[in-house]
Structure 1
């Protein structure tokens, strides 16, 4: 039945979005080496408007432990510095008048464990999203059955939804394993 196929396609799309979102959140968890996406959440006041850091400066990694931020306008240096200090990154910016240098300290064992725990929580949130999508889809399928779809078709579709849930759940598990290895690597 066409409605059932549409439901399954939409389910697949929503589950992929949940996995993509989790992957993006995991990227923000720092793993001991300098990566420009570490600063993705930083907003800078640009002429009174909160603007993402990447839109007012270029961020580069001169080496594995350093981030270099070069604002498009020199007047933004103190604003960028303030935004970094006020963020929850725990980094101390150094400013030489043209660039802001961030030195990424090596992670302590305790910090690594906390980051691994944070990564686990992100993946669990992703799995909760998958289960929510599964529940919503199954509810819609039951509605279709009441509207005249055959019981066999609905049962088959529910099995497909379960398979999709397991498939995307294992993708989240893979993401978590990769991230934990990255975090724990000294």
Structure 2
């Protein structure tokens, strides 16, 4: 019976890792005042009659600490890509030079840094909640297994195992948040 639970702990670990990966992606989308190619990843462009990710239409580079360049492959799409960047809510004013769109990253003021740090904290809290929900699912599985004849010792062992896994993932979320907030507040 306990072998069945062990297989399920692998699934729980995978789901907790998924919550951590989602957090890292959300953190990557937060602008920190430094240029990063990941800030344009969520941008979708109306190209060839369909919404297409910008990264499928252009090469994105970071030639300087405060500059992102987008080299559009199809010259006919430069205007649409520029429009998509303007409307994306990044707060960046693109400058076009032929097929290359330059995105100068402005310096963040103190108030904006504090706001971004709060947003990062909210993302981290969502990740913690997701991890705790996975923990709850694991504990429910243990209760169900106990009803099917799992011993008290096995039940205690698996509860401790899932709690240790949860604590480890929550610590990783806290560490990632601390690093991101330090990066945001760095001038």
Q: Same fold (TM over 0.5)?
A: yes
The residue correspondences of 1:49-60 to structure 2 (distance < 5 A) are 49-60=50-61
Segments of 5+ residues of structure 2 without an aligned counterpart are none
Deviation at 1:97, TM superposition (A): 2.2
Deviation at 1:18, TM superposition (A): 0.8
Runs of 4+ in 1 over 2 A off after TM superposition: none
TM-score by length of 1: 0.97
1:139 aligns with 2:130: no
Aligned to 1:183: 184
Deviation at 1:151, TM superposition (A): 2.1
TM-score by length of 2: 0.97
Aligned to 1:112: 113
Q: Deviations over 1:89-117 (max 9, x none)?
A: 01111112221111100000000001100
Alignment coverage as a number of residue pairs: 186
Segments of 5+ residues of structure 1 without an aligned counterpart are none
Aligned to 1:171: 172
The residue correspondences of 1:83-102 to structure 2 (distance < 5 A) are 83-102=84-103
Distance (Å, rounded) in 2 between the aligned partners of 1:81 and 1:156: 57
Indicate if the aligned counterparts of 1:67 and 1:101 stay in contact, CA closer than 8 A: yes
Aligned to 2:12: 11
The residue correspondences of 1:2-81 to structure 2 (distance < 5 A) are 2-81=3-82
